């Protein structure tokens, strides 16, 4: 082992040696020691290179130090160097006791103290310590923020004061509107209470959370809007963001770049009823636009039901055959090639109500990739027994079109008042839970939530062509109207036959010279004709026929005393052909009042006077504007506007199309009513939909309310006709 500057010779030899021999021996010993020191320092530098490699390697710090200690312990060799010895040696600065060796060793130690790896180790350790302290501080900060965000107490703000008890009560009353509707409490009462509570703080700063220089977007007399803005500003100041409710899944199905409209109705041709004809025209005219694809979804009946519903015992063996018939009938009347898809869902015919009830979940027959916009023709009828996906959850925008005044029909039945009471509330539930917008054809329908009155129906273009031809004949001096008065409609008492017979019986002598021809078929045909014969009325009955039939063009006056219709299609068709129309002063006829050839009456005496007036003179030709108002082009334009479909189709953000609370606008700094607060109205709607889903899922409850047995799911014949999975596969029963 090398000795660092220590003389190991025996004393005698050291004393006896002298001169050149002793000097040579001393120089050799020092040379040997110097070589040993240089070799040791070379090894130290080599280990230092290894140390630098370890320091730059991406390994955890504790493992790094352990690897360094093991490396130096295992590779010491003859020098037996380790980190502790190096640290001690460089810390004390003592290498040897010999004067020359000590001076030389001290110079080497000074050089070793400046090693870069040692300084890197120390700097790395200090960095690790600072990082641990920062991580601990950051974690504590995050915990504080989390606890702060979970706090239910909003932060006090000088700009947005907290809500007081009156405001909370007013907001609760405002959001409880759906519940009051179900209880039969008028919405005006709720609005007055809200206005009274809000008026106490109307001049308070809380109702104007904007800077004084910036006017509020809701600075009007509507207390409800001011309250909504107030609530939104307070909630926004807390940083809370509402992510969705319990009843909705918050997910809208993605659709293709081109928008898709699905029109779902309750009847189909060849049944000549309003819900079969008008949706067919609506699909054709909506499809003329290149903005959207259109699918008409109609019920498919098994052959046994087809024989009961379709005229002249007409039947179809396949959906493709019925689709071909529908397209042929439509294109013959509109005069252009239709470009929309026709799809079928299983349905069953109910004899007692003379209506088709869907079998199973109708929404499942519309693919998710096409579930963008839904138009529900007769939404209450479609959803009375609907047990499936909620329409507003599956579709981005849902519009209901009310065709029928069901309450008027039900009141005429046995125990009709009681039945009408329950049907009224079920219809309210359906409108609230399954639609975003509801369009009522006239004021004769039930006043449903989310609804407005607008006639979105037009007339067959063939009738307008007849009117133009008759006007041209009259201008040339020809006498176009060679016949008197007529009435056309399905022969059931509810379609105005009761009112017609009563009027003619009461004023039999006054109307003696005016013969009335009646065209129609129906369940009450025998009873209606028997009653007219018993009273010896001047009424002639004929079999039903199409209103566009040539044999009807020569009549001058169309009489329609019905008050059960919502918007009589036959009345619009008669006006389009340039005839007089005598009808009751009733909300169902409000749309027709603007036409000069429409004569309305309020009393039976007035009825006689209007009939005689119409028989005494010729009707006025329709102006171009009046003809346009009766057309399907105008009806489609009204539908697009009042259903907000034009805004939906032009919107690039589909998630914003149906939100009742609105969407933010880019570049607009003004606060809007946002979805940052749970909407109690949406929660109530979701709760009603869930309750309805549970109720309609029980077969016993369905039957007790008049449902057709077996309509909870489609049957085997439906699966064969429509190529569907068998019912037991589509809805398996587990555990049996």
pLDDT in tens, 246-297: 445 444 545 456 889 999 999 999 998 889 999 999 999 999 876 789 999 9
Whether the link from the prior residue into 20 is cis, omega within 30° of 0, is: no
pLDDT (tens digit, 9 = 90+) per residue, 533-590?
Answer: 999 998 999 998 888 888 999 999 999 999 888 898 899 999 999 999 999 999 999 9
Beta carbons of 565 and 572 less than 8 angstroms apart: no
pLDDT in tens, 645-691: 888 888 754 444 444 433 333 334 344 444 445 566 777 788 888 98
Axis-axis angle for helices 569-576, 274-287 (nearest 10): 60
Report the alpha-carbon distance of residue 162 to residue 155 in Å, rounded: 9
Please give the structure tokens belonging to residue 251. 């997910």
* CA 435 from centroid of its chain's CA atoms: 9
Q: Do domains 258-456+679-720 and 459-629 have the same CATH topology?
A: yes
Cβ–Cβ < 8 Å for 310, 271: yes
CATH number of the domain located at residue range(s) 459-629 in this protein: 3.40.50.2000
One of 1.10.20, 1.25.40, 3.40.50, 2.40.170 is the CATH number of 258-456+679-720, namely 3.40.50
Mean pLDDT, the chain, integer: 77
Report the C-alpha gap between 181 and 192 in whole angstroms: 15
pLDDT digits (tens, 9 = 90+) for 109-127: 444 444 666 777 777 778 8
Domain coordinates of the chain in residue numbers? Answer: 161-200, 258-456+679-720, 459-629
Q: What number of other Cβ atoms are within 10 A of residue 569's Cβ?
A: 21
Tell me how far apart the alpha carbons of residues 544 and 539 are, in angstroms, rounded to a whole number: 15
Compare 451 and 671 and report the one with higher pLDDT: 451
Q: What is the DSSP letter of 508?
A: T
**Dihedral (C-alpha) 344, 348, 351, 353: value to the nearest 10 degrees?**
-70
Contact 477, 439 (CB under 8 A): no
pLDDT interval class at 146 (50, 70, 90) = low
To the nearest 10°, report the CA torsion of 458, 463, 469, 475: -60
């Amino acid at each position: 082992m090398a000795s660092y500057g220590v003389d190991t010779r025996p004393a005698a030899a050291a004393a006896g040696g002298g001169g050149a021999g002793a000097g040579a021996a001393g120089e050799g010993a020092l040379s040997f020691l110097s070589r040993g020191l240089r070799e040791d320092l070379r090894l130290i530098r080599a280990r230092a290179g290894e140390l630098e490699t370890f320091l730059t390697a991406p390994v955890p710090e504790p493992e790094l130090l352990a690897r360094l200690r093991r490396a130096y312990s295992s590779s010491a060799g003859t020098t037996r160097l380790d980190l502790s010895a190096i640290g001690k040696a460089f810390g004390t600065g003592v290498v040897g006791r010999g004067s020359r060796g000590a001076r030389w060793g001290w110079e080497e130690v000074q050089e070793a103290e400046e090693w870069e790896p040692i300084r890197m180790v120390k700097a790395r350790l200090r960095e690790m310590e600072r990082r641990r302290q920062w991580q601990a501080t950051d974690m504590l900060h995050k915990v504080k923020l989390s606890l702060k965000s979970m706090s239910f107490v909003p932060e006090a703000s000088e700009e947005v004061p907290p809500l007081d008890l009156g405001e909370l009560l007013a907001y609760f009353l405002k959001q409880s509107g759906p519940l009051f509707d179900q209880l039969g409490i008028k919405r005006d009462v709720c609005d007055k209470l809200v206005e009274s509570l809000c008026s106490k703080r109307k001049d308070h700063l809380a109702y104007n959370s904007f800077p004084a220089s910036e006017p509020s977007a809701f600075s009007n007399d509507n207390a409800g809007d001011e309250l909504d803005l107030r609530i939104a500003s307070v909630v926004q100041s807390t940083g809370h963001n509402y992510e969705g409710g319990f009843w909705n899944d918050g997910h809208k199905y993605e659709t293709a770049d081109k928008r898709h409209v699905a029109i779902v109705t309750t009847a189909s041709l060849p049944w000549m009823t309003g819900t079969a004809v008008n949706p067919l025209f609506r699909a054709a005219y909506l499809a003329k636009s290149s903005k959207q694809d259109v699918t008409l979804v109609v019920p498919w009946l098994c052959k046994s039901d087809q024989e009961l519903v379709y005229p002249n015992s007409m039947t179809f063996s396949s959906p493709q055959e019925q689709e071909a018939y529908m397209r042929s009938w439509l294109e013959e009347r509109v005069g252009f090639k239709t470009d929309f898809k026709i799809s079928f869902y299983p349905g069953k015919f109910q004899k007692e109500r003379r209506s088709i009830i869907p079998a199973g979940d109708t929404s499942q027959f519309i693919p998710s990739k096409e579930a963008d916009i839904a138009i529900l023709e007769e939404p209450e009828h479609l959803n009375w027994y609907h047990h499936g996906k909620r329409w507003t959850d599956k579709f981005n925008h849902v519009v209901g079109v009310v065709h029928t005044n069901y309450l008027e029909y039900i009141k005429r039945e046995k125990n009709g008042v009681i039945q009408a009471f329950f049907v009224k509330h079920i219809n309210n539930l359906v409108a609230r839970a399954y639609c975003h917008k509801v369009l009522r054809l006239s004021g004769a329908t039930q006043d449903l939530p989310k609804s407005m009155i607008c006639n979105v129906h037009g007339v067959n273009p063939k009738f307008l062509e007849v009117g133009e031809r008759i006007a041209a004949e009259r201008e040339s001096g020809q006498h176009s109207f060679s016949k008197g008065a007529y009435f056309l409609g399905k022969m059931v008492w509810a379609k105005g036959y009761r009112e017609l017979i009563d009027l003619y019986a009461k004023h039999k002598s006054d109307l003696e010279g005016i013969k009335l021809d009646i065209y129609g078929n129906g369940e009450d045909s025998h009873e209606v004709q028997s009653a007219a014969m018993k009273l010896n009325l001047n009424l002639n009955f004929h079999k039903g026929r199409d209103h566009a039939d040539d044999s009807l063009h020569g009549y001058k006056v169309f009489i329609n005393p019905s008050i059960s219709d919502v918007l009589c299609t036959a009345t619009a068709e008669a006006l389009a052909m340039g005839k007089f129309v005598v009808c009751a002063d009733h909300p169902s006829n409000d749309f027709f009042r603007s036409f000069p050839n429409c004569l309305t009456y309020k009393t039976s005496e007035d009825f006689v006077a209007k009939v005689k007036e119409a028989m005494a003179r010729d009707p006025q030709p329709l102006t171009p504007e009046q003809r346009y108002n009766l057309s399907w082009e105008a009806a489609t334009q009204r539908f697009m506007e009042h259903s907000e479909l034009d805004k939906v189709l032009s919107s690039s953000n589909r998630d914003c199309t149906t939100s009742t609370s609105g969407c933010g606008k880019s570049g607009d700094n003004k606060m809007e009513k946002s979805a940052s607060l749970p909407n109690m109205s949406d929660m109530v709607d979701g709760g009603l939909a869930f309750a309805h889903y549970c109720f309609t899922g029980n077969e016993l409850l369905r039957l007790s309310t008049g449902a057709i047995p077996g309509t909870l799911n489609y049957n085997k014949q439906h699966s064969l006709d429509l190529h569907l999975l068998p019912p037991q596969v589509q809805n398996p029963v587990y555990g049996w």
